[in-house]
Amino acid sequence: MVEEQLPFQDHTSQSPPSLFPLISSDYTNAGDITVGCLAKDFLPDSLTFSWQKPNNESLEAEKIRRYPSLANSNGVYTTSSEATIPTNQWEASEPFFCKAEHSSGTRVARVVRPSPCNYPEPKIIVRIPTLEDFRGPYLNATLLCKADDLHTEKTTLKWLKEGNVLSSGFTTSAPTKQAHGGYSTMSELIVTKKDWFADKVFSCQVQNEKYDEIRNVSKLSVCEDCSGTGIPVRVEAIPPSFEDIYMTKSVKLTCRTSNIPFEQDLAELNVTWIRQHSNGGLEVLPTEIGQSKEQEDRDLVSVDATANVCIEDWESGDNFQCIVALPLLASTETRSLKKENGGSRSPPSVYVQPPPLEELALKETATITCLIKNFFPGDFFVRWMRNNEPVGVSESYTSNPMQESKSPKRYFSYSLLKVTEQEWSAGDTFTCMVGHEALPYQTTQKTIDKNTGKPTHVNVSLVLSDMTSSCY
């Protein structure tokens, strides 16, 4: 038989108790509640408890309970006492007193309801999408609802559209404990561009036993002026450039509708090109409506609608009209295009000038100038070549045509090609090629190099489209 070894007790030493209040965290608002106090590290085991009410009267013995003392490995004792007290006095924060009397001293613990934690009120934040969010390939965006400072994790979050509870299309996280107390949860709902810009109302509802709140959001709720940017829709007919006609051997008519709000359903845009023949007949042309393009104001887009016609049809002088219908317009808009045949055509004179000596002396760059004068109409193009090879458009600058004279009406322009001083000094040849409808072969060219110092005619070729026009 093994004897139980009791902790060694030195009865010649004494240790007073340390006394701590014990407070229940789970009680109801009716009846009585139980509180207590804990006495630790006392020696010898000779301790008695008593309780006093707020009015200093002794608490009835039947409402007090004492638990047996327990000795730890150090030979000192721990014990506790419970008291049953009225809930109404506890709720009123009236203090009760636990007294522990010991041969080495008496201790008193004040037992009172602690001040309730002042948790902040729960709050719901709903983040709405921006226009930028809808620019992805799927034309949808995300609504985010976040609820913080909830008093319990037993909280539900629901999404509604136009007052109807949604069962899919969202992802909701389980409530998590916050560092400062309380719980947090959030949910993300996918909304389509069509629903958002149709001003559908979406609601985030957060519910638990003590809280039931709902937040409604829509495009209208966050937009002071949802009628658009205030910029009127613009319709313009863009004539074909001579360069495009020369390169493709066909004529592209462009009708551009711009300042369209991003949210506009472009399926409602209708554009038709019509040809008015000189005999009064009307011909509807096949019209292709292109993809929308963002404008500098990213809340607006533009759309080009094009029709292709033969050069002979364009040269005929017939009138071409584009007719645009869009709900944002008060009525259909019509724009016209017609080949400018007024005035006497005049081919350009072309002059090429070498770089200035002052610029060459710096041994950095060399600027070659091509002057184009005395031409009508004002549509033309310039291409540069170096050693019979085309030069990139970004390496040169060509001005818009400027009026040279009013009667007869004539234009002039200039083009600058910037090369390195080493290229010029190496004797490379540089050619300015000018295209204009009044030229005998629709193009003319002048070439210059360091050795000649002046422009000369040379046999060069620019690879251009050899497409032929097919009109039926």
Q: Distance of CA 111 to CAs 37, 67, 89, Å? A: 8, 18, 12
On whether the CB atoms of residues 185 and 174 are closer than 8 A, the answer is yes
What is the signed CA dihedral for 188, 190, 196, 199, rounded to 10 degrees? -60
pTM of this prediction exceeds 0.85: no
Instruction: Round to whole Å and give the CA distance between 23 and 458.
Output: 106
Tell me, what's the pLDDT at 223? 64
Q: Which tokens sit at 253?
A: 């008519």
In 198-352, which residue ranges form alpha helices assigned H by DSSP? 219-222, 242-248, 311-315
Q: What is the mean pLDDT of each run of 10 residues along the chain (472 residues)?
A: 45 83 69 91 92 92 93 92 90 90 91 73 87 74 91 91 94 88 90 86 91 89 58 90 88 93 85 91 92 81 93 89 89 89 85 93 92 93 94 92 90 95 92 92 92 54 40 50
Determine which helix (DSSP H) or strand (DSSP E) holds 193, and give its type and residue range.
helix 193-197
Q: Distance of CA 27 to CAs 86, 206, 318, Å? A: 11, 27, 94
Tell me, what's the pLDDT at 161? 94
